[in-house]
Amino acid sequence: MIPRIFSWLAGFALVMIFLVVISPDLFRGYVFSSDDRSNGQRVYETYCIGCHGPDGLGNGPASEFLNPLPRNFVDGDYKFFHFGEAPPLPSDESLEITIRNGLPGSSMPAFPLITDQELKDVIAYVKSFRAGGWVEPKPIQAGDQPIQLQGETGEELFVSAGCVGCHQFDPTGATGGVGPSLTQVGSRLSADEIHQSIVDPNAVIAEECPAGPCPPGVMPQNYSDRLTDEQINTLSTYLSEQK
């Protein structure tokens, strides 16, 4: 019995020597748990650093294999504004959708399993990279005059309305991966049903988006103010012809 105890103690001692001498960082992390990083930094360095790099420049070790390149958080251009906020910087809510759902068709994966607190913390950390400081987008006021969208053909309106940013749509080469694919939308929805989804996006929510169940409130809610009736009819008819 005693030799067996000494044998166990000797093995334990060897493990401790390995941790202290060979891998002191591992020893400090698991024994002393000394980590002075913020929660946002921990989440970023766990999931994001490989692509976006330690300083948020989009130059992580995996970036050389990716096309398009990862977002440069320091001074790069943001492309996805899910709630109609004015560029150049998205709202926290838009960033939440991008992180939760990912961007299929790009190298940005979905992260549906991180907690809500981790999501808020990593967004705050990402915003801290911005050169000159992060300027929050101006909230859209109910009394603001909506900007009218330009375009005459269905394809022009699809691009002008920003649909290419969220939907895959082969006729325009759009690879957006937030909302459902509209490449053959006419095979499942009529022109009237598409018209309704434009003027009242939450009336019927598609069941499946690329990253899972489609969340409500993602599609802009003010297209009926930014498009004329004629433009909406043109766009609805154009999409219904995609079969």
Under CATH, which architecture does the 39-127 domain have?
A: Orthogonal Bundle (1.10)
- Domain spanning 154-240, CATH class: mainly alpha
Residue 139 confidence (pLDDT): 66
Residue 21 confidence (pLDDT): 45
**How far apart, in whole angstroms, are the C-alpha atoms of residue 48 and residue 108?**
10
Instruction: List per-residue pLDDT tens for the chain, 243 residues long.
Output: 555 555 555 455 544 544 444 444 444 444 444 566 789 999 999 999 999 999 999 999 988 888 888 999 999 999 888 777 778 999 998 899 889 878 766 778 888 888 999 999 999 999 999 999 999 887 655 545 666 788 899 999 988 887 877 788 998 887 777 788 899 999 999 999 999 999 998 888 888 887 777 777 778 778 888 899 999 999 999 999 999
Has this prediction a pTM greater than 0.75?
A: no
**Nearest residue to 161 via CA among 243, 235, 106:** 235
**Nearest residue to 48 via CA among 106, 129, 122, 98:** 122
Burial 98-125 (b: 16+ CB within 10 A, else e): bbbbbbbebbbebbeeeeeebbbbbbbb
Residue 82 confidence (pLDDT): 75
Residue 234 confidence (pLDDT): 95
The answer to whether domain 39-127 and domain 154-240 are alike in fold is yes
Per domain, the residue ranges of the chain are: 2-32, 39-127, 154-240
Residue 198 confidence (pLDDT): 92
Q: Are 122 and 48 in contact (CB under 8 A)?
A: yes
Residue 163 confidence (pLDDT): 84
Residue 68 confidence (pLDDT): 83
Question: DSSP secondary structure string, 164-203?
Answer: GGTSEEGGGTEE--SS---TTGGGT--HHHHHHHHH-TTS
Residue 35 confidence (pLDDT): 61
